Amino acid sequence: MALLDVRGLTKKFLGLTAVDNVDITIETGELVSLIGPNGSGKTTLFNCVTGFLEADAGHVHYRDRDITKRAPYEIALLGLSRTFQQARIYRRLSVVENLLMGIQQHQGESILERVLLTRKVRRLEQEATERAEELMDFVGLTHLRDQPAGNLSYGQYKLLIFATALMPDPDLLLLDEPAAAINPTMINRMKEHMVDLNRAGKTIFFIEHNMEVVMDICERIIVLDAGRKIAEGPPDSIRNNERCMEAYFGR
């Protein structure tokens, strides 16, 4: 049983087919990248998988459960977490407070219980704080723990978004361009974090335009062009695939 199984996924916007009958399978423990030229349908596919867009055709199964028409929050609660290209943080809240916001919905407690601050709520809050401290240490943000998130550099901001997606300890992590627009040092740190997580058993499926990142760390690469899957395989096979080269470079 695949962790994520996408079959015949199709999404249209008026006369444009953004995702065209795509099949994708992600197995537990894999580190897989989704690549393709701008406008090839990568983020649209992520949005359909995670419930932010309703697919026009096809099915998405997560742990053998049909999640095709589930709401985003329901999918997240099943153990699938993601980041966005244009993610937003709470700029006036501290780094640790942003992380705690990332797990609140997963704690499943009623408003009344939180107002009464029951023993169970106090235990969940303690566990959440410990998880936040662990992740700040993992991504190197501990020294900024109490700083307003709005004071972070762009690279630190990306690390905070990354850590926030990890707060609920998801079984599957979807990352939308984690290395985009950050400096080479921060790119290397992001690569190391992803590899470390994967070695620890985390399944990661990510969109990326930085081919150095993709080729360095991925076991398998899936290529989209004009909404269609045109290739899939290990880095060497993609690097030498003429159809992929034509899609990227027009040759």
83-127 pLDDT per residue, tens? 998 878 899 999 999 999 888 765 555 555 655 567 777 788 899
Task: Quick: pLDDT tens for 204-241.
Answer: 999 999 999 999 999 999 999 999 999 999 999 998 88
Cβ atoms within 10 Å, residue 146: 9
Show the tokens assigned to 61.
Answer: 């199964």
Look-up of token digits 């996408």: 6
The reported pTM is: 0.91
Nearest to 32, CA basis, from 67, 73, 2, 68: 2
